[in-house]
């Protein structure tokens, strides 16, 4: 018996044997609800196969579109590899001082505070010197939200008639978090703190690490917790799809116009008349604070939109009328 | 001098206790088979371990603003981690069809 125990101990340590193995073996129980789910999946697949689009894809594959597609992809990849290898071969060696790049870095570090008014040099870089780069990133987020909306949005047009999908099948067994008193109480205690912290990070971006992206992410996660605490029915009163689109559009348009104006004036050697304020205070850094707010709004709305689309296939109340 | 020694030993006990708690938590988390047992094990680290570690570190440093920040972090974690454990348990309870093999409960 003792030897047996020792053997077992070694086996357990080497990961070959689990003391609780006999508990975790799957039972041979046929669950009727799972069987019916399988049936429904099969039904769904068959009706997808019968659809017009699927058959069009099959026909295109038969016509050789697939070969053309593969060939184009391979050619594109080869061209990209060639370009990248060529540029890597021309990069200066690591550690060797390259006057072209060092000049820019020295300018950022030595004159960043004077020219942008931001104590945080990184903020001054990404929202002043290279503001169009950040504008592109915000547009990438918006484009990603639009793509997810196209793929996952659930309305009458892209639902198969007579077929229940995941959202409607599991509705009976669906566990709704928002009715829980524990979650609601904890959320009511913590949410103001999280929102406040997000706003602090957002507004203080020109003075300390942080800014639009991080502050927006904090606020976006606070919105997600809010919708989990009080339920989508109550967040939908304000965060409709129209509202989110409006906020993102206004932010991006303001960003483009304001920064376009500044760059246009700067390129022509003119003053832009935007006060830089006292470095270190909240109202400093010229355009950096409003641009941070714009980026933060975009990021927060995008985060909430992703969550909402992945959770229930719609933003705002326009999708809930289906249920 | 004796106060310094007292503080040192207090910090020592708190930090070693927290490390012990984390050790048990990790062992339990990896060796238990059933989700609720594992949640219990990980909850020990999430609450007891973090509380003892933060208290030890609070006592170890000079009084400053960062002490308040650390205390706030502990309060935050004491709110959030039991809540998340509670919901993981809840989801397991409502969705696991084989649950009757582990616990006594009424049929769903």
Please give the residue that has the higher pLDDT: either A97 or A2.
A97
- ipTM of the modeled complex: 0.77
Mean pLDDT over each residue of chain A, to the nearest integer:
80
**Please, what is the Cα angle at B72 between B66 and B74, to 5 degrees?**
105
pLDDT digits (tens, 9 = 90+) for B22-52: 999 999 999 988 888 899 999 999 999 999 9
Provide the pLDDT for residue A27.
47
pLDDT at residue A38 is higher than 80? no
CB A286 within 8 A of CB A274: yes
Stretch among A36-40, A159-163, A305-309 having the lowest mean pLDDT: A159-163
Q: CA of B89: how far to CAs of A6, A230, B37, in Å?
A: 35, 20, 10
* Residue in A with minimal Cα distance to B103: A23
Residues in B touching A34 (Cβ below 8 Å): 97
Which residues of B are less than 8 Å from A19 in CB distance?
31
> What are the sequence ranges of the domains in chain B?
2-101
A193: which chain B residues are within 8 Å (Cβ-Cβ)?
76
Q: Where are the domains of chain A?
A: 42-87, 119-166+177-323
What's the confidence (pLDDT) of residue A82? 97
The Cα–Cα gap between A12 and B86 comes to 30
Does B91 sit within 8 Å of A190, measured CB to CB? Answer: no
Q: Which residue of B has its CA nearest to A28?
A: B98
> Closest Cα to residue A175, out of B38, B87, B107?
B87
By the CB < 8 Å criterion, does B78 face chain A? no
B30: contact with A, CB 8 A cutoff: no
CB atoms within 10 A of CB A189: 12
Encode pLDDT of A215-243 as tens digits: 999 999 999 999 888 888 788 888 888 88
- Burial, A123: exposed, middle or buried (Cβ in 10 Å; 0-12, 13-18, 19+)? buried
Q: Do A180 and B34 touch (CB under 8 A)?
A: no
Among B81, B90, B102, B103, most A C-beta atoms within 10 A, so best to mutate, is: B90
In chain B, which residues have pLDDT < 70? Answer: 102-108
Maximum average pLDDT range among A24-38, A177-191, A239-253, A304-318: A239-253
| Nearest one of A112, A145, A142, A144 to A130, comparing CA atoms | A112
Q: Residue B9: its pLDDT value, please? A: 92
Across the interface, whether the CB atoms of A180 and B76 are under 8 A apart is answered: no
């Amino acid at each position: 018996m003792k030897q047996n125990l020792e053997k077992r101990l070694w086996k357990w340590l080497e990961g070959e044997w689990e003391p609780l193995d006999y508990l975790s073996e799957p039972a041979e129980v046929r669950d009727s609800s799972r069987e019916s789910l399988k049936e429904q999946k099969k039904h769904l697949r068959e009706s997808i196969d019968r659809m017009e689009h699927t058959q069009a894809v099959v026909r295109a594959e038969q016509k050789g579109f697939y070969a053309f597609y593969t060939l184009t992809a391979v050619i594109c990849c080869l061209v990209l590899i060639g370009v990248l290898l060529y540029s890597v071969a021309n990069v200066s060696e690591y550690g060797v001082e390259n006057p072209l790049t060092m000049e820019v870095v020295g300018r950022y570090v030595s004159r960043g505070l004077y020219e942008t008014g931001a104590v945080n040099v990184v903020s001054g870089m990404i929202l002043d010197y290279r503001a169009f780069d950040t504008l592109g990133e915000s547009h990438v987020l918006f484009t990603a939200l639009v793509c997810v909306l196209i793929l996952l949005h659930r309305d009458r047009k892209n639902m198969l008639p007579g077929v229940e999908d995941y959202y409607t099948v599991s509705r009976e067994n669906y566990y709704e978090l928002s009715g829980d008193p524990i979650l609601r109480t904890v959320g009511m205690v913590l949410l103001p703190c999280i929102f406040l912290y997000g706003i602090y990070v957002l507004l203080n971006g020109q003075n300390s690490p942080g800014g639009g992206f991080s502050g927006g992410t904090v606020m976006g996660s606070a919105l997600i917790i809010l919708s989990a605490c009080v339920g989508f029915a109550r967040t939908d009163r304000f965060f409709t799809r129209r509202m989110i689109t409006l906020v993102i559009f206004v932010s991006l348009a303001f960003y483009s116009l304001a920064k376009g104006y500044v760059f246009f004036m700067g390129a022509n050697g003119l003053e832009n008349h935007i006060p830089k304020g006292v470095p270190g205070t909240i109202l400093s850094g010229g355009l950096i604070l409003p641009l941070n707010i714009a980026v933060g709004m975009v990021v927060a709305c995008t985060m909430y939109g992703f969550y909402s689309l992945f959770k229930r296939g719609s933003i705002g109340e326009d999708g809930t009328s289906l249920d | 001098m004796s106060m310094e020694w007292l503080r040192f030993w207090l910090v020592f006990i708190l930090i070693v206790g927290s490390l012990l708690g984390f050790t048990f938590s990790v062992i339990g988390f990896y060796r238990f088979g059933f989700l609720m047992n594992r949640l219990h094990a990980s909850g020990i680290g999430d609450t007891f371990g973090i509380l003892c570690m933060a208290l030890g570190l609070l006592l170890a440093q000079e009084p400053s603003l960062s002490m308040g920040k650390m205390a706030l972090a502990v309060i935050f974690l004491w709110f959030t981690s039991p809540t998340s454990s509670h919901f993981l348990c809840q989801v397991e309870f409502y969705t696991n069809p084989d649950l009757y093999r582990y616990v006594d409960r009424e049929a769903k």
